[in-house]
Chain A
Amino acid sequence: QSLPPKARAPRVEDKNAVTTIQAEDISGRPEREITLERDAELLKDKTRVKADTACYRQVEDEVEAKGNVKIWRFGDYFTGDELKLNMDSGQGYMLNPTYRLEANHAQGKAERINFINEDEAVVVNGTYSTCQGPTPDWYLRSNTLNLDSGRDVGTAGKTIIYFKDVPILGTPALSFSLSGARRSGWLSPMPGFGSKGAAELTVPYYFNIAPNRDLTVYPKIIPRRGFQLGANGRYLGQTDGGLYQGETYVEYLPHDKQYVPTTPGGSTDRWTIKSTHAQELSKDWSYGWSIRAASDNNYPNDFSKTVSSSTERQLLRELRTDYHGDFWTLTARVQKYQVLQDPESVVDKSLFVSRPYDRLPAINFHAAQYDVAGGFDWAVDSELTRFYHPTLINGTRLVAIPQVSYPIVGPSYFITPKVMVNLGSYQLDSFGTQKSDNLSRAVPTFSLDSGLVFERDTKIGGKDVTQTLEPRLFYVNTPYRDQSQFPTFDTDAATFNFSQIFSENRFVGSDRIGDANQLTAALVSRFLDAAGAETLRLAFGQRFYFRDQRVQLASTTPVVDSRSDMLLAATGRISETWGFDSAVQYSPSQRRVVSESYTAQWMPGQKKVLNLGYRYLRGSFKNLEVSSQWPIFQRWYGVGRVSYSMQDKKILESLVGLEYNADCWVFRMGAQRFVTTSTKASTPIFFQLELNGLSHLGVGSPLEAMKNSIPGYQRLNEGYGR
């Protein structure tokens, strides 16, 4: 059970292989010692030695060779002046050798190589590089270099890294991996610019504790703030109960010189924690936690360098346990939120970060069986939740939703009548002027879902495809029950999209059960190629209301339109290079578009992609996006992304990058800019020199930034480690 390093075939030599010796002059005593003169060669299973002179001791299975010695062994290749090798134990040495390893095609030369066993060799005063040719662009020189292809580990003593013969880095000890897998030791230092451009330097150290445990420590110096220590621990394991795994990241900076505590004299320690853990206690029972917390509201602004971390202001702490029966599951969760209020919200109310309800606890029970008693499906979903909020009404809610349906399914049709009841009871604490109260409700719902599937063979883009035409009708009838005095703990209107137009309730959450007498109609057409893959899907959907919708979230005025918005969608990959995705929600009553999104992807070849996107949601955003990875000229590649808000006429997010791909190293540089508040933006810059198979030195993590911002981005040096 270990974290997934690359599997490597064990290096085993067949002790009973035939040994073939050739030379111009062979003499000696068989089974004792045989000397070979001029053009000597010895071949045994995975080892082949050529030299001017050699001698072979058969009993010890040992070969000595002198004079431009060449040896091929297990895919590695060495040359040198003198060789001594015991093929039984794999031990021996070689004088002023050059070597080329099978892993990463690494090569180098040295004063001496000591062979420890089939997998391990120690290179004395030697160089190491993954560049080919006699003058490698970069190489590492070290007094002791331990190459262990068995465990993919390479550790070096006092080491200097040369790039184009210029020493760019010296470290007391450097560990690197022969093929990108994990290894203990100092990682390369990472100078950088914090979220507000403050200079910083971190020199991470990696402990490869065990195949299934590792710890990375990030000591970081931020001149303006102080000394920060980060640590990331990962573990994976097995008990007799079952699997467990988890990861915990902690960052701690004592006495931040730049931080003004909210309460005078308060602590100026800054920290954050992010921890997940999942463990199976038995085949059916598991538990886990997911904890996120930070020391103060300014933490995201001061310490985050990526878009995602700078927008996380509602931090969840959750402890949960799940139990699976054969057809039911029981889940108990405790959830608490920490809100990092945006300091700017004091000025700009629209930036206020709302605080969600805590669930202390929430117990869910779900049971379902299919094809019971002659074709019936039944299911029960129930939840007991204690909602807590510092400033809003608190209460305990019990909800139970039993449902029964009778699906009639054939290859070309289905009809599914379903009956369900939503039983709910609330115990509300006293709140301000209201005293504590008990409320309950029972809302029945009947629904009938039906659909047909038509098919025909046709052609698209010259390819034979099967086109389906799938009409579907979904009728829902739910009587009106006044729910205006029920609080909305976890409920909101569901967005109107294809995933949700076929659910019975137009609200998400259990505090509102929408009254309904409505029919949802949809038509989907798919184009399936010979292998059954969907190359194109067209869809249309609309809902017809036969009665006004009286249940609302807060307002009491019913909504009276007889027809819902129209939904149109088309998505597909109609050729090897072209793919697109589009969806429109059009409101006939207001005669305008509520939301639309069009994206197209053009991928004409390797490392060439162009994405275009337009996304609009009324009253929220109207963004245009362009992103691309494109070869510019010979080995130079350009990377770019712009996300422009047409509504506010400003660029929300942009990224510009250049990459140079040499055979054995990649240089990346560029800058990213994203809006953090209405007036402020963060502009982390990155430049990085990645020596294939060794490590990467530089600022920031450009690879992740590029991968996340450009769909279809391909890494230039595929196959080299992380």
Chain B
Amino acid sequence: EKADANKPTTINYDDLQIDDVKQIKTLIGNVVLTRGTLLMKSPKAVMTTDPEGYDFVVLTSTAGTPATFRQKRDGAGDQWVEGEAERIEYSNKTDLVKLFSKAKIRRLEGGRLSDEVDGEFISYDSRKEQFAVKNSVTGESKPGAGRGTMVIQPTIRPTAPAAPTPPATEK
């Protein structure tokens, strides 16, 4: 949600190494970052704070446990966005989440999957609720380097938000 922008950021972790000179904190083991409805987890994270005090976090996964993030969306109904990737970069200055390599983003509505995107790189701007999928791990879009995919589930008729999808109606 947009309201997350002015919420405090809290981070839990097992171990912490701080390099005060470069203002770099390295967190290891069950890192959990929460900010309002935004929730990010990963086995390891490196956080740097820029002079104006904005944090820039890079969460990295280890074999088998990817870095994940989850955030509630504006708009009616119980709508959530969640994603996972081998490396996630988040800046609370721009509220931009970037997922690198084997990235996936899912949108859910009332616990039901409404659409799912996967590709090599996905960026998600929670303020403008815009996303972009690129086909290279660096985040640029290289021609001929494979394709991202998006699967959109049929929209639920507003008349029956939680009801099972109505049968195929004749045109």
Task: Please state if A30 and B131 are interface contacts (CB–CB under 8 Å).
Answer: yes
Q: Is the CB of B147 within 8 A of A39?
A: yes
Whether A25 contacts B132 by the Cβ 8 Å rule is yes
A34's partner among B119, B150, B171 (CB-CB below 8 A) is: B150
Given A13-B171, A20-B149, A90-B171, A26 contacting B132 (CB threshold 8 A): yes
Across the interface, which residues of A come within 8 angstroms of B129, CB to CB? 29-30
What is the CB-to-nearest-CB distance from B149 to chain A, in angstroms, rounded to a whole number? Answer: 5
Of B132, B143, B165, which contacts A16 at CB under 8 A? Answer: B165
Using known A-B contacts A16-B168, A24-B143, determine if residue A30 contacts B115 with beta carbons closer than 8 Å: yes
Q: How does the 8 Å CB contact mask read for B148-171 relative to A, with 1 for contact and 0 for none?
A: 111111110000000001101111
Q: Does B107 contact A (CB under 8 A)?
A: yes
**From B109, which residue of chain A is reached at the shortest CB distance?**
A31
A398 at interface, CB cutoff 8 A: no
Known: A26-B119, A90-B171. A21 touches B149 (CB 8 A): yes
Q: Please name the residue on chain A nearest to B117 by beta carbon.
A: A26
Q: How far is it, in angstroms, between the C-alpha of A28 and the C-alpha of B132 when the chains are bound?
A: 7
The answer, yes or no, to whether B146 is at the interface (CB within 8 Å) is yes
Chain A neighbourhood of B165, CB < 8 A: 16
Residues of A within 8 A of B170 (CB): 12
For B146, give its contact among A12, A24, A88 (CB under 8 Å): A24
Measured between beta carbons, the chain A residues less than 8 angstroms from B147 are 22-24, 39, 41
Flag if A27 contacts B130 (CB, 8 Å): yes
B135 within 8 A of A: yes
The smallest beta-carbon distance between A191 and chain B, in angstroms, is: 46
Q: Which residues of B contact A58 (CB under 8 A)?
A: 152, 155
Docked complex Cα distance between A34 and B152 (Å):
11
> In the complex, what distance in Å separates the CA atom of A13 from the CA atom of B148?
26
Task: Give the CA-CA distance A118 to B171 in the complex, in Å.
Answer: 10
Contact A21 B154 (CB under 8 A): no
A59 touches B131 (CB 8 A): no
- B141 CB–A CB distance under 8 Å: yes
Q: Which of A16, A26, A89 contacts B154 (CB 8 A)?
A: A16
Q: How far is the CA of A41 from the CA of B147 in the complex (A)?
A: 10
Q: How many residues of A contact B (CB 8 A)?
A: 32
In the complex the two chains form, is A21's CB within 8 Å of B153's CB?
Answer: no
Using an 8 Å CB-CB cutoff, how does the interface string of A3-28 with B read, 1 for contact, 0 for none? 00000000011111111111111111
Contacts of A14 in B (CB 8 A): 168
A22-58 residues at the B interface, CB under 8 angstroms: 22-31, 34, 37-39, 41, 58
**What is the CA–CA distance of A34 and B143 in the complex, to the nearest angstrom?**
19
Given A24-B143, A25-B141, A39-B147, A15 and B133 touching (CB < 8 A)?
no
Q: Could you say which residues of chain B place their CB within 8 Å of the CB of A89?
A: 171
Contact of B130 among A15, A25, A29, A88 (CB under 8 A): A29
Cα–Cα, bound, A26→B154 (Å): 19
Main secondary structure of the interface of A (DSSP, over half): loop
The dominant DSSP class at the B interface is: loop
Q: List which A80-94 residues lie within 8 A (CB) of chain B.
A: 88-90
Bound CA span A117–B170, Å: 14
B21 on the A face (CB < 8 A): no
Docked Cα-Cα span, A30 to B133, in Å, equals 12
Contact of A27 among B131, B144, B153 (CB under 8 A): B131
Residues of B close to A37: CB separation below 8 A? 141
Chain A CB within 8 A of B145 CB: yes
Chain A residue contacts of B128, Cβ below 8 A:
29
Q: Does B134 contact A (CB under 8 A)?
A: yes
Q: Return the chain A residue nearest B140 by Cβ.
A: A25
Instruction: Digitize A50-71: 1 where CB-to-B-CB distance is under 8 Å, 0 elsewhere.
Output: 0000000011000000000000
B135 close to A24 (CB less than 8 A): yes
Measured CA separation A58–B154 after assembly (Å): 9
A688–B132 alpha-carbon span in the complex (Å): 62
- Produce 1/0 per residue, B7-23, CB < 8 A to A: 00000000000000000
Among B141, B155, B168, B171, the most chain A Cβ lie within 10 Å of the Cβ of: B171
Contact B166 A16 (CB under 8 A): yes
Q: How far is it, in angstroms, between the C-alpha of A27 and the C-alpha of B147 when the chains are bound? A: 12
Interface centre among B117, B133, B144 (most CB of A within 10 A): B133
- Chain B count of residues within 8 A CB distance of the other chain: 34
Q: Return the CB mask of A545-560 against B: 1 if under 8 Å, else 0.
A: 0000000000000000
Chain A nearest CB from B161 CB (Å) reads 14
Within 8 A of A (CB), among B114-137: 114-115, 117, 119, 128-135
Question: Please, how many angstroms separate the alpha-carbon atoms of A21 and B142 in the complex?
Answer: 18
Which residues from B are CB-within-8-Å of A17?
A: 154
Cβ A15 vs Cβ B154 within 8 A: yes
Q: How far is the CA of A541 from the CA of B141 in the complex (A)?
A: 93
Provide the bound-state CA to CA distance between A31 and B147, in Å. Answer: 21
Instruction: Collect the chain A residues with CB atoms within 8 Å of residue B155's CB.
Output: 31, 58-59
Could you tell me the distance between the alpha carbons of A651 and B169 in the complex, rounded to whole angstroms?
A: 68
Q: Which residues of A contact B132 (CB under 8 A)?
A: 25-27
- B148→A26 contact, CB < 8 A: yes
Cβ B166 vs Cβ A26 within 8 A? no
B143 adjacent to A19 (CB under 8 Å)? no
Measured in the bound complex, the distance between the Cα atoms of B170 and A237 in whole Å is: 29
Residue of A at shortest CB range from B128?
A: A29
Complex Cα gap A28–B115 (Å)? 13
Which chain B positions have C-beta within 8 A of A25?
Answer: 132-135, 141, 148
| Cβ distance B44 to chain A, nearest Cβ, rounded Å | 29
Give the distance in Å from the alpha carbon of A117 to the alpha carbon of B171 in the complex: 10
A89-103 at interface with B (beta carbon < 8 Å):
89-90
Contact A28–B130 (Cβ < 8 Å): yes
CB closest residue in chain A, given B123: A27
Query: How near does chain B come to A465, taking the closest CB pair, in angstroms?
Result: 54
A13: B residues at CB distance < 8 A: 171
Q: Hey, which chain A residues are within 8 Å of B143, CB to CB?
A: 24, 38
Q: Which residue of A lies closest to B125 (CB)?
A: A29
A23 touches B131 (CB 8 A): no
> Which residues in B have their C-beta under 8 angstroms from that of A39?
147
Q: Which residue of B lies closest to A56 (CB)?
A: B152
Nearest-Cβ distance from residue A674 to partner chain B, whole angstroms? 56
The A162-178 residues at the B interface (CB cut-off 8 A) are: none
CB of B151 within 8 A of CB of A19, answer yes
Contacts of A19 in B (CB 8 A): 151-152, 154
* A interface residues, Cβ below 8 angstroms from B: 12-31, 34, 37-39, 41, 58-59, 88-90, 117-118
New contact pairs (16) apart from A20-B149, A30-B114, CB-CB < 8 Å: A13-B171, A14-B168, A15-B171, A16-B168, A22-B147, A25-B134, A26-B117, A26-B133, A27-B130, A27-B131, A28-B131, A29-B129, A30-B115, A34-B150, A37-B141, A41-B147
9 shortest interchain CB distances as A-B pairs: A27-B132, A16-B154, A26-B133, A25-B141, A21-B150, A19-B152, A14-B168, A24-B135, A22-B147
Interchain residue pairs with CB less than 8 A apart (28)? A12-B171, A14-B168, A15-B168, A16-B154, A16-B165, A18-B151, A18-B152, A19-B154, A20-B152, A21-B149, A21-B152, A22-B147, A22-B150, A24-B135, A24-B143, A24-B146, A25-B133, A27-B133, A30-B129, A30-B152, A31-B155, A34-B150, A38-B143, A58-B152, A58-B155, A88-B171, A89-B171, A117-B171
